[in-house]
Amino acid sequence: MSNAPASVCTSAEGRAIAQRMEQFVRNVIIPYEADPRRDAHGPTDGLVQEMRAKAREHGLLTPHIRPDGSHLSHQDTAIILRASGLSMLGPLAVNVAAPDEGNMFLLGRMAGPEQKARFLEPLVAGHARSAFLMTEPATEGGAGSDPSMMLTTARPDGNHWVVNGRKAFITGMAGASVGIVMARSEEGATMFLVNLPMDGIRIERVLDTMDSSMPGGHAIVVLDNVRIPADQMLGHSGEGFKYAQVRLAPARLTHCMRWHGAATRAQEIATEYAVRRQAFGKPLIDHEGVGFMLADNLMDLKQAELMIDWCAGVLDSGAPGTIESSMAKVSVSEALFRVADRCVQVMGGTGISGDTIVEQVFREIRAFRIYDGPTEVHKWSLAKKIKRDTVTKIGLR
């Protein structure tokens, strides 16, 4: 990665952090990939905290947020998070992993001073993990890709709100200390901040899923008469969807950044394998069927990088970037999945084994095509915009 020219829109500050980040991940974090401290859902919190201590020592913990609370540009963040993603442990180690990164972004913009001190500061310091409780079980007709279907309710009761409902696929819930709960009041979708564990909030079960890089996994959560003080509402009742939009586009894009780093690493591993491995009298890479796959990967990685940088520039302009982030999420997730799939194919039996991280990268990026909005939902949304714009242009009613 270090040989690639830096974007002209990045700052010297961002480029310096990205360079240090790459060296830190390659030299300090990648060796942890052999560490056995993990369960079926991801690294243990003990392992995460040990790596974060190393990140603090190197001045790289939560690197995209300055000490005064201001954020680097999205374009600077892109080169830093791509470098962090060179190991799937990297984003956890430097505190830029999902869902914490998106939750920090949201709280930094929408929380009040007391809420920031209580809920945001422990996240930025890397001492706590968080969960975003919005998605609901499909079997009950709850909110998924369509958040307007939300069934979880919130009703006022004196100086508290009482929340009831069930949530599904809540990433990082087991072990989280901070929760952002989305519920439906009479005014509409509303967000609340809670410290975890909390009376009335119970993990029903942690799902078995194909990905295994996120501590706490993805949980089904029951909210049973949860009493939340009124001063823990984020903003105002009924404005939850508006606040979710603040988080949405940047969080979609940071997913793309991190997984771009992982796919880049998979390409490095597959390329080295193809250069070393002999078959039919010559290195694998000299067989066109293999060499062409690696060439296609190179092009997909570059196109994904350009889409990320373009969308980051849109966000840096102050635009909401909703449409642009949908386009980036689809094109990048699909391109990176092609990259990971080809890497597995190039490496044959080794590619489907746990001897390298390539097999895990494949699984993780396959899951990425679904979370933060499946490809098909984003395409449907884009098609609606195309129709709307065209109807306006040609004057149809």
CATH assignment at residue 315: 1.20.140.10
The candidate with the shortest Cα–Cα distance to 374, out of 337, 333, 335, is 333
332 in the same domain as 224: no
CB 121: neighbour CB atoms within 10 A? Answer: 14
Of 42, 72, 97, the domain-final residue: 97
Whether residue 121 lies inside any domain: the answer is: no
Whether residue 105 lies inside any domain: the answer is: no
Answer for the pair 251, 64: CB distance below 8 angstroms, yes or no.
no
Q: How many CA atoms lie within 13 A of 309 on its CB side?
A: 14
245 in the same domain as 215: no
32 in the same domain as 160: no
**What pLDDT, on the 0 to 100 scale, is given for residue 385?**
94
Q: Which residues of 197-228 are buried (b: 16+ CB within 10 A; e: fewer)?
A: eeebbebeebeeeebbbbbbbbbbbebeebeb
Whether residue 112 lies inside any domain: the answer is: no
Domain holding 93, by residue range, is 12-97
Whether residue 165 lies inside any domain: the answer is: yes
252 in the same domain as 380: yes
Please give the angle made by the CA atoms of 185, 190 and 196, to the nearest 5 degrees.
Answer: 110
220 in the same domain as 303: no
Q: Token pair 């080295």 is at which residue?
A: 272
206 in the same domain as 296: no
The candidate with the shortest Cα–Cα distance to 203, out of 189, 224, 183, is 224
The candidate with the shortest Cα–Cα distance to 376, out of 337, 329, 335, is 329
- pTM for the complete prediction? 0.94
Whether residue 340 lies inside any domain: the answer is: yes
**What pLDDT, on the 0 to 100 scale, is given for residue 1?**
55
**What pLDDT, on the 0 to 100 scale, is given for residue 29?**
98
326 in the same domain as 293: yes
187 in the same domain as 250: no
Whether residue 345 lies inside any domain: the answer is: yes
283 in the same domain as 147: no
Whether residue 115 lies inside any domain: the answer is: no
| pLDDT tens digit at each of 397 positions of the chain | 544 445 558 999 999 999 999 999 999 999 999 999 999 899 999 999 999 999 999 999 999 999 999 999 999 999 999 999 999 999 999 999 999 999 999 999 999 999 999 999 999 999 999 999 999 998 888 888 788 899 999 999 999 999 999 999 999 999 999 999 999 999 999 999 999 999 999 999 999 999 999 999 999 999 999 999 999 999 999 999 999 999 999 999 999 999 999 999 999 999 999 999 999 999 999 999 999 999 999 999 999 999 999 999 999 999 999 999 999 999 999 999 999 999 999 999 999 999 999 999 999 999 999 988 899 999 999 999 999 999 999 987 6
**What pLDDT, on the 0 to 100 scale, is given for residue 148?**
85
**What pLDDT, on the 0 to 100 scale, is given for residue 2?**
46
211 in the same domain as 251: no
What backbone torsions phi and psi does residue 94 show, to the nearest 5 degrees? -105, 5
Of 238, 266, 291, the domain-final residue: 238
Length of the chain: 397
Answer for the pair 207, 169: CB distance below 8 angstroms, yes or no.
yes
CATH number for position 210: 2.40.110.10
**What pLDDT, on the 0 to 100 scale, is given for residue 371?**
87
**What pLDDT, on the 0 to 100 scale, is given for residue 144?**
80
What's the rounded Cα separation, in Å, for the pair 328 and 332? 6
Token duo for residue 377: 């939902």
Q: Token pair 């830096």 is at which residue?
A: 6
**What pLDDT, on the 0 to 100 scale, is given for residue 260?**
98
Answer for the pair 273, 284: CB distance below 8 angstroms, yes or no.
yes
Of 189, 218, 238, the domain-final residue: 238
Q: Which residues are CB-contacts of 312 (< 8 A; sequence separation ≥ 6)?
A: 73, 74, 75, 77, 78, 253
Please give the angle made by the CA atoms of 221, 115 and 61, to the nearest 5 degrees.
Answer: 85
Three-class DSSP category at 113: helix
343 in the same domain as 323: yes
The stretches of the chain forming alpha helices (DSSP H) are 12-24, 45-57, 74-84, 90-93, 100-110, 113-115, 121-124, 240-276, 288-316, 322-347, 358-368, 375-394
233 in the same domain as 362: no
Whether residue 327 lies inside any domain: the answer is: yes
Q: What's the CA dihedral at 308, 301, 76, 134 to 10 degrees? A: 50
Number of domains in the chain: 3
